[in-house]
Structure 1
Amino acid sequence: MDFKQILEKLAERQDLTQSEAKNALQSIIEGEVGVERTTAFLLGMRSKGETIEELTSFVQVMRDAAISPDVPVEGAVDLCGTGGDNSGTFNISTAAMFVVAGAGVPVLKHGNRSVSSQSGSADVLEALDIVATLQKEQIEHVFDEINACFMMAPNFHPAMKHVMPARQVLGIRSFFNTMGPLLNPAGVRRQVVGAFDKRTAGQIADILSNLDSERVYSVHARDGLDEFSLSAPTFVYEIEDNELKTEREFDAASLRFDPVSLQDLQGGDRFFNANIIRSVLEGNAKPAHRNIVLLNATFGIHVSGKADSLEQAKKMAIESIDSGAALQLLHRMSEATNDIMEVSE
């Protein structure tokens, strides 16, 4: 089936087979399809509504095309979200990364610059004097040294260059907004993934249950956050060994966290958010800032398997901050990433 037939099928709102979905996206990322037809494909998929089988096929194609750093992933976690929740909060999952790593959990975080907020994960890391744009060999060196790293999405997904012009023309969400957190180039099998709505959180869980996932929390909070929230219950889809284990609502009060308003969690530009993260790791943050980071770090530690219960994971997160281990990890990441850049020059 050629690409024109694919578009005709989408125009008639017919679902694609797995092989059709794979071949269509493969043609796009190999540059065989122009911007106009790629845009039509994204719009056709959005209009028809993507099936889990189609989305799973798309993820497999993008994972196969990624540049994969050669790092051990056993027990390693990624904490990331789809973005697009328009909440205006500071970079919560990025802050939690340091707490999780400070607790002795390997962290292979995947992210990008800001798309829908003032500060993306890469932006705030640079404001913390961390080099966020490392390439494959540099990532391997840094992870070997400190057991944590940040992988800048465009450096590991060069195939996206054939998709971005169409996404920019389209100007609305496409299935790539859902796929981003599922494309960790190192191939981590343990994740905390936040989604911009409940439906997408469910889709992410269904997709990852079709792939090689050991343990995943896919979440969306009632207040709109693509994180575990302190201001409203959070919908949680939990995957264990490729199976959807539970689907439930989680209330942070069950872990003895006090409720806060979303206004208490508001961020700003990358420097403003970097100062919040420093204050959390230095132990002098506002309670709302500290607790939202602790909450999300708790699930990051638990998903790694290093803690048998959420209560134990919370204790480990608190110890990571209070002992100075999380702050030390930030300093070590800054030193390691800047040192490797000097060596490369």
Structure 2
Amino acid sequence: MIKTTLNKLFDKKDLTFWEAEEVANLLMNGQVNGSQTASLLTALRIKGETSHEIAGFANAMRNNGVKILHNSKNLIDVCGTGGDNSGSFNISTAAAFVVAGAGVNVAKHGNRSITSISGSSDVLNELGVNIELTPEQSKKALEEIGITFLFAPIYHPAMKNVAPIRLELGFKTIFNVLGPLTNPASTTKQMIGTFNYDIAFKMAEAAKILKMERVAFVCTNNQYDEITLTDSSQIVEVNGDKAITVREINAETFNFPKIVLDDIKGGTPLENGKIILDIFNNQSSVSQFNVVIANAALALYTTGKYSTISEAQQAAEDSIKSGKALEKLNTLIDFGNNND
């Protein structure tokens, strides 16, 4: 099957959803050798991955992964594809606690960084969060605290067959966009940052194929995978059976001043952790505070709990200023320390 698939891709022909799912299953079950895996990922990249191929791979990843069975309602994930080279601090990670502080359950799915200094798990680990909770512990945290972190290697063990080859290849592959679409808690609502507009549309189409309920795909200036307030951001929205829509938002949407990228630059996990704590303690720069509010506001709006982004923005600001976002972080830290 793998040789037939490779020849099809070499001829620049697209795979169907089912063909993509089947070959992804072979990859994850170790039935494809290293050379074939590298050839497959390279051929897909050169041809350009389609929404059906992304959805097929994502479905295989979901089916091969460990799932969390929970009773949480109105659950969301706030994450990004990464790889945008913005050098910003961990904005979506901070936004996740703001969303939780506003009363919406969050299952934050993440990994260590491959393309930047500090991934979500890196900064959370630095802050004292136990990133390696078992699925049972993560379920308990989600239901008791309203937020949990799902460390990707625990939930996607089959990825061990592909990870070394991805590192050796050194370029973006289809797997760069699969993480946000394969949350172990089966979130149907998400805010997902993407590294360009084209992939935002493809992922949106894939989300519809996967029957996700409500998702906002975010890209700023065709390169940054979050709302940065430096330029206009394109928001590609999936809302059930409705047609995919696109909206543009910028700093003015939130009545914030436009900023420059240096205003939200990050660094090591230690440095980024300090920025997050400063934000939650109302001691950060205005730009750092505002960029987290903007991203949290869109996430809250995407849950459907608020009818306007303005209402969601107010809830996000209240979450930080009331200390609830910090409380969620501290409670998750304590939970991890007491559940070793």
Tell me the alpha carbon deviations over residues 161-187 of structure 1, each in whole angstroms, 9 at most, x when there is no partner: 111122123221111112121111111
Describe the SS at the equivalent of 1:67.
coil
Describe the SS at the equivalent of 2:148.
strand
TM-score (norm 1): 0.96
Describe the SS at the equivalent of 1:243.
coil
Q: Are residues 301 and 212 of structure 1, via their aligned partners in 2, closer, same or farther at CA, if it must alter by over 3 Å? A: same
Matches within 5 A, 1:292-331: 292-331=291-330
Q: Are residues 196 and 252 of structure 1, via their aligned partners in 2, closer, same or farther at CA, if it must alter by over 3 Å? A: same
Structure 1: distance between partners of 2:142 and 2:246? 33
Q: Is the 8 A contact 1:298 1:317 kept in 2?
A: yes
Matches within 5 A, 1:138-157: 138-157=137-156
- Which one-letter code corresponds to 2:64 in the other structure? A
Identity of aligned residues (%): 38
Q: Are residues 197 and 189 of structure 1, via their aligned partners in 2, closer, same or farther at CA, if it must alter by over 3 Å? A: same
Matches within 5 A, 1:136-285: 136-222=135-221, 224-285=223-284
Describe the SS at the equivalent of 2:338.
helix
Structure 1 counterpart of 2:32: 33
Structure 2: distance between partners of 1:166 and 1:328? 40
Q: Shift in Å at residue 269 of structure 1?
A: 0.2
Structure 2: distance between partners of 1:49 and 1:230? 30
Q: Shift in Å at residue 220 of structure 1?
A: 0.4
Bigger Cα displacement from structure 2, 227-236 vs 65-74: 65-74
Tell me the alpha carbon deviations over residues 70-122 of structure 1, each in whole angstroms, 9 at most, x when there is no partner: 12353111000000110110000001111110000000010011111111100
Q: Is the 8 A contact 1:73 1:186 kept in 2?
A: no
Structure 2 counterpart of 1:71: 70
Q: Shift in Å at residue 204 of structure 1?
A: 1.2
Q: Which runs of 4+ in 1 moved over 4 A?
A: none
Bigger Cα displacement from structure 2, 226-235 vs 138-147: 138-147
Describe the SS at the equivalent of 2:178.
helix
Structure 2 counterpart of 1:11: 10
Structure 1: distance between partners of 2:72 and 2:196? 28
Q: Shift in Å at residue 242 of structure 1?
A: 4.1
Q: Shift in Å at residue 149 of structure 1?
A: 0.4
Q: Is the 8 A contact 2:196 2:222 kept in 1?
A: no
- Which one-letter code corresponds to 1:228 in the other structure? I
Q: Shift in Å at residue 140 of structure 1?
A: 1.2
Structure 2 counterpart of 1:110: 109
Structure 1: distance between partners of 2:243 and 2:178? 18
Structure 2: distance between partners of 1:242 and 1:57? 19
Describe the SS at the equivalent of 1:56.
helix
- Which one-letter code corresponds to 1:304 in the other structure? T
Instruction: Structure 2: state its 5+ residue gaps.
Output: none
Structure 1: distance between partners of 2:223 and 2:21? 32
Instruction: Structure 1: state its 5+ residue gaps.
Output: none
Structure 2: distance between partners of 1:107 and 1:86? 26
Q: Are residues 7 and 245 of structure 1, via their aligned partners in 2, closer, same or farther at CA, if it must alter by over 3 Å? A: closer
- Which one-letter code corresponds to 2:196 in the other structure? D
Bigger Cα displacement from structure 2, 138-147 vs 90-99: 138-147
Describe the SS at the equivalent of 1:236.
strand
Structure 1: distance between partners of 2:134 and 2:84? 29
Q: Is the 8 A contact 2:90 2:119 kept in 1?
A: yes
Structure 1: distance between partners of 2:114 and 2:250? 29
Q: Is the 8 A contact 1:237 1:244 kept in 2?
A: no
Describe the SS at the equivalent of 2:131.
coil
Q: Is the 8 A contact 1:35 1:165 kept in 2?
A: no
Q: Are residues 55 and 317 of structure 1, via their aligned partners in 2, closer, same or farther at CA, if it must alter by over 3 Å? A: same
Q: Is the 8 A contact 2:280 2:326 kept in 1?
A: yes
- What number of residue pairs does the alignment pair up? 340
Structure 2: distance between partners of 1:11 and 1:278? 49
Q: Shift in Å at residue 132 of structure 1?
A: 1.0
Tell me the alpha carbon deviations over residues 242-283 of structure 1, each in whole angstroms, 9 at most, x when there is no partner: 434421221220221111110010011001000000010011
| 1:21 and 2:11 aligned | no
- Which one-letter code corresponds to 1:34 in the other structure? N
- Which one-letter code corresponds to 2:286 in the other structure? P
Tell me the alpha carbon deviations over residues 208-237 of structure 1, each in whole angstroms, 9 at most, x when there is no partner: 111222211101001732101211000110
Q: Is the 8 A contact 1:205 1:244 kept in 2?
A: no
Structure 2: distance between partners of 1:229 and 1:213? 25
Q: Shift in Å at residue 340 of structure 1?
A: 1.0
Bigger Cα displacement from structure 2, 47-56 vs 110-119: 47-56
Structure 1: distance between partners of 2:96 and 2:50? 32
Q: Are residues 131 and 244 of structure 1, via their aligned partners in 2, closer, same or farther at CA, if it must alter by over 3 Å? A: farther
